[in-house]
Amino acid sequence: MASKKQILLPIGVLGVSVALFAAFMAMKKPPEQKQQENIAPLVEVIPVNLTDVTMQVHSYGEVMAQEQTELVAQVSGQVVSIAEQFVKGGFVKQGDELIRIDPNDYEAALIEAQAGLAQAQSALEIEQAQAHVAKAEWQRIKDNANAVIPSELYLRKPQLAEKLAKFRAAQAQVKRAKRNLERTSIRAPYDALITAKNISLGSVVNPGNVLGQIDATDIAKVRLPVANHDLQYLNDGGIGAQVTLTSEVAGKTRSWQGTIVRNEGVVDKRSRMTYLVAYVDQPYEQAQPLRFGAYTKASIVGKHVRDAAIVPSHLIKDNRIALIDNEIKLMFSDLEVIREQNGMAYVTAGLQSGQQVITSALEYPTQGMQLRLDEQEPKAAHTQLALKED
């Protein structure tokens, strides 16, 4: 029969084990509860700013003179004088004598023509006197009943007509001789820049020889090609619009103000462009001369649009853009885009000032989907402001 000690020992061990297990269980910490992770897409936004915008149409062209004239000899002879300023790049004023051809032969021709005119005038006056005598004589005898109608030869009408014709021919000779003498002096027809010189002192020239070329300096002309679809952004097709021309001069960007004065009226067959013509007054009298032959870029002032938004073009798909609403959910807005230029779109309807445009790429964007905003402040729309056209 088991002793009392044998019975109590296992019971004691079991009790201690239970107590130890209970103590260990009491010491064990309950599992921490994890916060539920927000899996909504993180997006960045830019604010919408409505502003007044003046459209700009950009073009380019070469600066040319409005008027170019070839100096051509109209009489023959030896060049006896050339103006000091008649060199390539020289400036001349209207009326300045540039070239003189030997005038001696033409002065002699004028004297001969004037002598011939004097002779013809004398002969005409004598004939007029004789015709007057013949007419007076007929008046005395016309009462005679047997008198017949006198012939024109008797009244000296043919002789008078001949002398009158010779007198007029002599007048023409004098006029021609004066004109040829004047042509020995070649003068500038306007304020100009000499762009070519083809003769030298002592050269012998003949009618038709090109002596040089001059360009008028009162107005610079620039032909500006404009695409057909860009004409819609200009008032009156661009006529009268202000244009800013820019060009590199000695490594620095310079600008000049001009005006669109006309449309050439045709579409270029090769480029399919319409050409507008801009004028700049007194190009060589400005602080920085606008030189002929320079290549220049042009910015033409176009239509003025009120309350327009400028947003990156790549954010617009099928004329819709993704916005974030007050509940940080995605919403789409239909837009009216009037122009896209330099990666930016000009929007006149569909956006309001203060709205936030989503700039992040979303894999499957859907209306009303929950989003998260970047903890940083929304990016300023500096890219829009940089492209804003005043």
Tens of pLDDT, residue by residue over 120-168, are: 988 888 878 777 766 777 666 666 545 556 666 556 677 778 888 888 9
Q: Rounded mean pLDDT of the chain?
A: 83
Pairing of strands 219-226, 97-101: unpaired
Three-state DSSP at 315 gives helix
pLDDT at site 243: 95
Tens of pLDDT, residue by residue over 79-90, are: 999 999 999 999
pLDDT exceeding 90 applies to what percent of the chain? 43
Q: Could you tell me the pTM of the whole model?
A: 0.70
End-to-end CA distance of the chain: 114
Range 178-200 average pLDDT: 94
Is pLDDT larger for residue 216 or for residue 336?
216
Q: Does the pLDDT value for residue 338 go beyond 90?
A: no
CA nearest to 177, candidates 105, 76, 71, 79: 105
Report the C-alpha gap between 236 and 348 in whole angstroms: 21
pLDDT at site 386: 37
Do residues 174 and 114 make contact, with C-beta atoms less than 8 angstroms apart?
yes
Among 143-147, 170-174, 212-216, the least confident range:
143-147
pLDDT exceeding 70 applies to what percent of the chain? 80
Range 178-205 average pLDDT: 94
Among 142-151, 220-229, 361-370, the least confident range:
142-151
Query: In this structure, what DSSP letter does residue 177 have?
Result: H
pLDDT at site 317: 86
Positive or negative, the CA dihedral 169, 172, 177, 180 is negative
Tens of pLDDT, residue by residue over 252-304, are: 999 999 999 999 988 888 888 999 999 999 999 988 999 999 999 999 999 89
Is pLDDT larger for residue 353 or for residue 84?
84
